[in-house]
């Protein structure tokens, strides 16, 4: 008797759970699963978006393997991810520690300043930086000329050798605030007693940071690193606004190349192939990074 009431209760719970889950599942099915499947099918076709699509088998994937622009844009994504790990997660961690442990009095004000770029639209930030980099009336060259470094002044975004570094600087400065925010929250959750113990042991800030703070928030480090890597592989708007991927594809990332292929060249099939490769690569890199960090944690312990 009692088991049957429990099973009735359980069934009722399950029904309620399904009911509550249904909207989310429906949403995912319509807006994520269905487009994903369609794109998957499309990646085996050649389609200009207008005339009937043609089945081309693996042709698109073969083309992808030999596509220098694609690999170049992927290399740029890797650059974005590497600099994000160093300058967003790494530097963000140091600044957050400094704010929480060294100068807690200016923490509120400093965080406000760091978070401003995070809440401003990326399009606006891109446009503003476009003016900073302008070779003739931009701030950067103006500053260089003012301090007598005229020979360093150049057309930052139009020069092949400086375009990608210029874009990377903007990206890292823009998103840095987000990571500071996350790490400030994490460091504040660390029990004060741990720091007291470290202080009694005679640890300075350097030692405390590496031996106490970072290990204590290691799961946050993992999560933020993953976030940085995944968003680096999806990045689009800043590149698009600053350079459109040029000059001659020098700053293209996978997303801008995909956009160009799909909506500039009207090659919907090949664009889907690029999109699919992007999903697989992002997932693979994410798994790789997580695995690496788990090993790092074990080494630490």
Partner 1 sequence: MRIRSAWRAALAAGAALVMLSACAGAGGSADTSGGGKTLEIWHAYAGQKDKVEFIEYALDTFKKAHPDIKVKEVSAEQSSYKTKLQTAMASGNAPDVFYTLPGGYLKAFVDSGQVLRLDDELAKQGWRDSFLESSLPSVTFGGSTYAVPIDIDAALVWYNKALFDAKGWQVPTTWPEFLDLAEKIKSAGVVPVALGNKDSWPATFWFQYAEMRLHGSGVMSGFGAGDKNATFGPEAKDAAGVLQTLAQKGYLPKGANGMSDAEANILFLNGKAAMVLNGTWQIGMSAEAPAGFELGYFPFPTFAAGKGNQSDVLAGVAASFAVSEKAKDKEAALAFLRHITSPEVMTKYVQIRKTMVARKGATTPEAAGPLLAGVVQDVIGKADTLDPFYDTAMAPKTTETYYSTLQGLIDGSIPPAAASEAIENAAKAGK
To partner 1, the closest distance from the beta carbon of 143 in angstroms equals 16
Whole-angstrom distance, CA of residue 294 vs CA of residue 301: 11
The distance in angstroms from the start CA to the end CA of the chain is 51
Q: Does 137 bind partner 1 (CB under 8 A)?
A: yes
**Pattern 221-250, partner 1, x by CB under 8 A:** ---------------------xxx-xxxx-
Q: Which of 266, 283, 291, 294 binds partner 1 (CB under 8 A)?
A: 266
To partner 1, the closest distance from the beta carbon of 172 in angstroms equals 19
Q: Does 133 bind partner 1 (CB under 8 A)?
A: yes
Considering only residues 149 to 178 of the shown chain, the ones binding partner 1 according to CB under 8 A are 153-160, 163
Tell me the backbone φ, ψ of residue 61, rounded to 5 degrees.
Answer: -70, -35
Q: Which DSSP symbol is given to 236? A: -
Do the Cβ atoms of 234 and 282 come closer than 8 Å? yes
To partner 1, the closest distance from the beta carbon of 278 in angstroms equals 19
Q: Does 145 bind partner 1 (CB under 8 A)?
A: no
Q: Does 207 bind partner 1 (CB under 8 A)?
A: no
Number of residues located near partner 1, criterion CB under 8 A: 34
Cβ distance to partner 1 smaller for residue 152 or 283: 152
Q: Does 265 bind partner 1 (CB under 8 A)?
A: yes
Q: Does 196 bind partner 1 (CB under 8 A)?
A: no
Cβ distance to partner 1 smaller for residue 177 or 275: 275
For residue 55, give the 3-state DSSP assignment: strand
Please name the helix (run of DSSP H) or strand (run of DSSP E) that holds residue 110, with its range, or none: helix 107-119
Q: Which DSSP symbol is given to 1? A: -
To partner 1, the closest distance from the beta carbon of 160 in angstroms equals 5
Kindly provide the b/e burial profile for residues 132-167, where b requires at least 16 CB atoms within 10 angstroms of the residue's own CB: bbbeeebebbeebeeeeeeeebbbbbeeeebbbebb
Cβ distance to partner 1 smaller for residue 232 or 249: 249
Cβ distance to partner 1 smaller for residue 40 or 246: 246
Give residue 246's Cα distance to chain centre: 21
Considering only residues 35 to 64 of the shown chain, the ones binding partner 1 according to CB under 8 A are 48-52
Integer CA distances (angstroms), 268 to 124, 199, 252, 261, 262, in order? 29, 61, 18, 7, 5
- Of 282, 289, 225, 236, which Cα lies nearest the Cα of 85? 225
Q: Does 263 bind partner 1 (CB under 8 A)?
A: yes
Paired tokens of 159: 């020069």
To partner 1, the closest distance from the beta carbon of 68 in angstroms equals 11
**Pattern 71-110, partner 1, x by CB under 8 A:** ----------------------------------------
Integer CA distances (angstroms), 131 to 23, 120, 157, in order? 45, 16, 11
Residues contributing to the site for partner 1 (CB under 8 A): 48-52, 130, 133-137, 153-160, 163, 242-244, 246-249, 260, 263-268
């Amino acid at each position: 008797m009692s088991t049957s009431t429990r099973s009735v209760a359980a069934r009722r719970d399950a029904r309620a759970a399904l009911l509550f889950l249904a909207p989310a599942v429906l949403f995912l099915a319509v807006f994520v699963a269905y487009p994903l499947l369609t794109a998957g099918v499309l990646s085996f076709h050649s389609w200009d978006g207008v005339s009937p699509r043609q089945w081309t088998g693996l042709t698109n994937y073969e083309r992808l393997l030999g596509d220098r622009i694609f690999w170049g844009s992927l290399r740029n994504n890797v650059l974005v991810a590497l600099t994000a790990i160093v300058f967003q997660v790494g530097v963000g961690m140091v600044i957050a520690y400094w704010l929480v442990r060294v100068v807690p009095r200016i923490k509120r004000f400093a965080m406000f300043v760091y978070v401003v770029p995070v809440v401003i639209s990326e399009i606006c930030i891109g446009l503003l930086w476009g003016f900073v980099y302008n070779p003739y009336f931009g701030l950067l060259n103006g500053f260089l000329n003012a301090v007598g470094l005229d020979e360093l002044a150049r057309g930052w975004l139009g020069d092949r050798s400086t375009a990608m570094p210029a874009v990377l600087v903007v990206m890292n400065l823009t998103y840095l605030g987000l990571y500071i925010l996350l790490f400030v929250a994490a460091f504040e959750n660390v029990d004060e007693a741990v720091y007291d113990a470290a202080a009694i042991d005679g640890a300075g800030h350097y030692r405390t940071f590496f031996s106490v703070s970072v290990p204590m928030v290691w799961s946050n480090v993992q999560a933020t690193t993953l976030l940085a890597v995944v968003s680096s592989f999806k990045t689009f708007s800043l590149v698009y606004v600053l350079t459109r991927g040029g000059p001659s594809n020098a700053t293209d990332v996978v997303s801008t190349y995909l956009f160009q292929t799909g909506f500039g060249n009207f090659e919907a099939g090949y664009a889907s192939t690029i999109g699919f490769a992007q999903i697989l690569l992002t997932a693979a890199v994410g798994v790789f990074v997580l695995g690496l960090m788990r090993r790092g944690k074990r080494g630490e312990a």
